[in-house]
Amino acid sequence: MKRVQLFLVLVVALMLLPASVFAGGQDEAASSGKITVTFAGTEAATTTQSKMMQAVADVLNADGRFDAEVLVAGALSGDTDALVTQAKLGVPLVVPSDPGRLASQFNIPDMNILMAPYILTDPAVLEKLPDTELFKTWSSQLEKQGIVLIADMYNGFRNFYTVEKVEHVEDLSGMRIRGFGNDIGNALAKHFGFANIAIPFGEVFPAIQQGALDGTEVQVSAAAGNAFWDVTPYIAITKHYMLQTAFVCSTRLLNGMPDDAREFFLKTIREKALEYGKTGEEAEDGLYQKMADNGVTITEVDLKEFQDAIAPLYKNNDLKFSPGLKEKLFDQLGM
């Protein structure tokens, strides 16, 4: 109910905005001489994702054809799906979502494989991903619904951050964990045995602090960026998702740009996604150490135990993958 209410508020707000806000592209360029675009995310300003967006905005602004700003930490909205919806409606936004969210939001089940538990485990494969036929197919399906998938950036492995120590799958049983409110998040909760509480990320810290949650599953950059050591004294290194940030914008924004500006815009985002994905990967060890230095106990679990627990998800095809999808993806990635 809360998500529905938020969506309705956003829709009303959008209806009240002046038409110039939606124009973007050439309409905006015609009136101000520049293409306006806002990078809007929910993570703290200190995370790799947020730093990447600021780096892109700096390059775009230095070029002179763009007027780019960055709003993070939920400044525009703490709900990623709502931000993507705004972009779809034509607001000139670039939004960091993820393949699992997009798969559920735009009904492209096969796209879930990019974030499915223990499928992709090497960040290096993301450099080849845009050239695969599968990625191009998913991008085309999104574009038909008004959204352009610009780039897919490595954003860290997801682990469990909890108020009680987790060493085995059974330790998660009955816990109230904040996870993705999509097909992937619900499947993970089903097979690991926890209650999946899908609330906006900005509400997680106070919810754990007040006892409404027992923890969250998240990447270390976001956990450290939000000082989770104050509320979650334990980390279980399960690496169940290789999180990717999927940067999207509206077809209306992109199609409204002059050809040369569009090419520069896309090239800049894609290059910075690769650069900051590698930077984020290199920074992870230091962030785990920062968590430990602040009193957090880090547990290296038996990954096979967790992989075995998730195996029925694929045997039963809970995510409704097309036949042979994993093999096709691996072949196209050269794995």
Is the pLDDT at 7 greater than 60, yes or no? no
Q: How confident is the model at residue 32 (pLDDT cuts 50, 70, 90)?
A: low
pLDDT band at 17 (very low <50, low <70, confident <90, very high): very low
Q: Which of 119, 145, 113 is nearest to 248 (CA)?
A: 145
**pTM of the full predicted structure?**
0.85
- Positive or negative, the CA dihedral 159, 165, 167, 171 is negative
User: Over the stretch 269-294, which tens digit does the pLDDT of each residue have?
Assistant: 999 999 999 999 999 999 999 999 99
Which tens digits make up the pLDDT trace of 125-164? Answer: 999 999 999 999 999 999 999 999 999 999 999 999 999 9
Of 142, 130, 125, 154, residue with least CA distance to 245:
154
At how many degrees (to 10) do helices 80-88 and 2-16 cross?
30
Q: What is the DSSP letter of 321?
A: P
**Rounded-to-integer distance, Cα 138 and Cα 147, Å:** 11
Look at residue 135 in the predicted model and tell me its pLDDT. Answer: 95
Q: What is the mean pLDDT of the chain?
A: 91
Output the domain CATH number for residue 134: 3.40.190.170
Residue 33 pLDDT grade (very low, low, confident, very high; cuts 50, 70, 90):
confident
Note the pLDDT of residue 31. Answer: 56
Both tokens assigned to 21: 């806000």
312 pLDDT exceeds 60?
A: yes
Distances (CA, A) of 61 to 28, 87, 306: 15, 20, 46
CA distances from 196 to 185, 208, 222, 223, 248 (A): 7, 14, 19, 18, 26
Question: In the chain, which ranges are E strands?
Answer: 35-40, 66-71, 93-97, 147-162, 176-178, 195-197, 215-219, 234-250, 297-300
Domain region containing 293 = 2-333
Residue type, 80: T
Tokens, residue 112: 């879930």
Model confidence pLDDT, tens digit, residues 84-121: 999 999 999 999 999 999 999 999 999 999 999 999 99
The pLDDT, as a whole number, for residue 144 is 97
Q: Is there a contact between 188 and 197 (Cβ–Cβ < 8 Å)? A: no
* Assigned token pair, 265: 């815009």
What values do phi and psi take at 242, rounded to 5?
-95, 95
Looking at per-residue pLDDT, the higher value among 17 and 88 belongs to 88
Res. 21: pLDDT tops 80: no
Residue 169: is its pLDDT beyond 90? yes
Q: What letter does residue 44 receive in the DSSP assignment?
A: -
> How many angstroms separate the Cα of 284 from the Cα of each of 154, 219, 289?
12, 9, 9
Number of structural domains in the chain: 1
Per-residue pLDDT at 196 exceeds 80: yes
Q: What percent of the chain has pLDDT over 90?
A: 86
